[in-house]
Amino acid sequence: MVRVLLSLLLVAWPAFGTIDTGGQHREHERITRAALACTSSTSREPVCFEPATMNYLAGHDREFGAVGAPDSDEMADPAAHCDNADYLSGSYPQSHETAVVALTDCVEHLRADFRRGLESAKDLLDDQGEVVAAEVTASPECNPREREESRAKCATLEAFGRALHGVQDFYSHSNWADRADPSRPIGDDNPPGLHRPGPSPLLDLLGVTAGPPPADFTTGCYVLQDQVPGAGVCQLRITHAALNKDKGLIDPVSGRATEPGTPRGQVADNFADAVAGAIAESRRQWRDFRTGLTDRYGADRASRMVCALTHDDPENDCHGPRVPRAVVIGMALAAGAVLFWLARRRRSS
């Protein structure tokens, strides 16, 4: 019953899709797979996620995965989805300063998830730099809705997945990558588009400060009665309904985006451009996450952490440089022979 009620809420919730009904097609999962899975034909990432681990990060079947976690317990938090940073030059109900604060709140929220992931990674390895079997196992499958998940791999990917969710929503919920409808005048029902590629300098989660957005940057105002023109507190404002590019078909291997399912997504190549931006951004965040691990833990430990986070069998795939047992025995025998020779030499001299 809880799953059914959650699914009904998600049908109306504003974001790239997490479920496969109500017009959604698991868009978050498919973006994440196209960006970071080892099966992606377009991935240029040197470090990709193996199948079982990707299942947890991206979700599968009825499981939300780490990237879908904010749609289970942060649905009412606009900072988790980069909503409510709406502004239009001229006479507008919300000031530009307030819109910038809302965008900053989003970036700081995602930075907190990003940093929590970096912190959780410390428990992947023991004091000798070896993976800890109990911390890297994915059996049983991790549960991203358990924020106190005790396994380090689960906790690290859960935090990173939440950050991915927000940065992907940024491209759907804002005008960063899209264009306005050229057949209609610019207004709250047809805000300007910036048509910029990803990744965006506004989403530097490894940094400590957020740069100012372009003058015409906007996301959408969201209330449950999401419509054009806006209702309630979103009256006379740019709404999520007017701006989002949440729905459509995405090939999880190539990332090709087709059949946009929202009005703004159907303008020009807006849906495809939003998906391309989200894929590029997801790859950038994974590169930055690896950099963050290196900065915190050093190159050797970070390399083993990345292996543990991406491999399905870290215990066997990600051990540190070990001297083979035969070599250890041989070295011990050689050392013993030398000592024996030296002892005999001393006795004979």
Q: Is there a domain that residue 243 lies in?
A: yes
Q: Is there a domain that residue 338 lies in?
A: no
Tell the burial category of 77 from Cβ atoms under 10 Å away from its Cβ (0-12, 13-18, 19+): middle
Handedness of CA 233, 239, 244, 247 (dihedral sign): positive
Following CA atoms 68, 41, 315, 313 in sequence, which dihedral angle do they give, to the nearest 10 degrees? Answer: 70
Residue numbers of the chain with a pLDDT score lower than 50 = 1-12, 42-43, 322-331
Q: DSSP H helical segments within the chain, as ranges?
A: 2-12, 27-36, 51-58, 65-68, 70-73, 96-120, 133-136, 152-173, 240-243, 270-297, 299-310, 314-317, 325-348
Helix, strand, coil percent values for the chain (each to nearest 5): 50, 5, 45
Q: How far apart are CA 280 and CA 271, in angstroms?
A: 14
Contact (Cβ atoms closer than 8 angstroms) between residue 180 and residue 88 = no
- Beta-ladder partners of 239: 221
Contact (Cβ atoms closer than 8 angstroms) between residue 273 and residue 281 = no
| Buried-exposed string 147-170: b where 16+ CB fall within 10 A, e elsewhere | eebebbbbbbbbbbbbbbbbbbbb
Contact (Cβ atoms closer than 8 angstroms) between residue 33 and residue 106 = no
- pLDDT reported for residue 344: 58
Please name which of 77, 69, 84 lies closest in space to residue 163, comparing C-alpha atoms: 69
Helices (H) and strands (E) counted in the chain, each on its own, are 13, 2
φ, ψ for residue 257, nearest 5 deg: -115, 125
Q: Is there a domain that residue 327 lies in?
A: no
The total number of residues shown for the chain amounts to 349
Q: Is there a domain that residue 343 lies in?
A: no
- pLDDT reported for residue 315: 94
Q: Is there a domain that residue 187 lies in?
A: yes
Which DSSP category does 4 fall into? H
- State pTM to two decimals: 0.86
Instruction: Please write the tens of the pLDDT for every residue from 250-309.
Output: 999 999 999 999 999 999 999 999 999 999 999 999 999 999 999 999 999 999 999 999
Number of domains in the chain: 1
Q: Is there a domain that residue 304 lies in?
A: yes
Q: Is there a domain that residue 159 lies in?
A: yes
Beta carbons within 10 angstroms of residue 73's beta carbon: 14
Q: Which domain holds residue 34?
A: 2-318
Q: Is there a domain that residue 345 lies in?
A: no
Q: How far apart are CA 36 and CA 56, in angstroms?
A: 13
Show Cβ contacts of residue 294 under 8 Å, excluding neighbours closer than 6 positions: 302
